[in-house]
Amino acid sequence: MPDSETPPDGGWLLIVYRIPSEPTRLRAAVWRRLKSLGAIYLQNSAAALPASPAAERALRKLRSEIIDMSGTAALLSCTVLAGESEIRAAFQAARDDEYEEIVDKCRDFLAEVEKEYADNHFSFAELEENEVDLVKLRNWLQRVRERDAFGAAGLQDAVSSLAECEEKLEAYAARVYAEEAEAR
């Protein structure tokens, strides 16, 4: 689902940076931040995002943090003269990978709910734990959707998998309530 702040063909933002090699945690922190924004690496220390006001704010903030780490960084607004389809394909592949991770975690969630049935665990504590896990899955999907500027193909599978998790949890909750009522 395209971000409402991303204009179609709005160009790209490119951050090119250099960070001191030690301590390595600084490099890892920048990598994690760029990954959480949905950026793709074009090469070492050069990452791109579709241009949007939100992406620009985030990259300006990251640039400032890199400078505070005694590094250097330049934030560029650009259009691609050649290779745009490859960059978009890499961006889409990154989103599809994230959607596939969500589908995998949904499978794990469903297996955990099935395990609760197999072990005959129908308590409010187990239900609450599973509800927390479902909220994490929902939030994760929402974050990926927000950075999916071009509508990656994996979205529908992720949405369907999450819907299946919600249905299974509703059925499990009904069973927990029924078991608790019988116990009284």
User: Given the structure tokens 């599973």, which residue do they identify?
Assistant: 130
- Of 52, 79, 106, the residue that ends a domain is 79
Nearest in space to 46 (alpha carbons), one of 86, 76, 91: 76
From first to last of the 184 residues of the chain, give the pLDDT tens digit: 344 343 346 799 999 999 998 888 998 999 999 999 999 999 999 999 999 999 999 999 999 999 999 999 999 998 877 878 899 999 999 999 999 999 999 999 999 999 999 998 888 989 999 999 999 999 999 999 999 989 899 999 999 999 999 999 999 999 999 887 777 6
For residues 146 and 97, membership in a common domain is answered with yes
Please tell me the distance from the alpha carbon of residue 2 to that of residue 147, in angstroms, as a whole number: 8
Q: The domain that contains 36 carries what CATH number? A: 3.30.70.240
For residues 117 and 163, membership in a common domain is answered with yes
Total count of domains within the chain: 2
For residues 46 and 130, membership in a common domain is answered with no
For residues 114 and 73, membership in a common domain is answered with no
For residues 94 and 171, membership in a common domain is answered with yes
User: Given the structure tokens 């896990």, which residue do they identify?
Assistant: 133
For residues 57 and 105, membership in a common domain is answered with no
Would 7 be classed as within a structural domain? no
- Of 79, 100, 129, the residue that ends a domain is 79
Q: What is the pLDDT of residue 9?
A: 63
Backbone angles phi, psi at 135, to 5 degrees: -60, -40
Q: What is the pLDDT of residue 152?
A: 93
Bridge partners (DSSP) of residue 41 are 47
Domain that holds residue 105: 89-183
Q: What is the pLDDT of residue 83?
A: 79
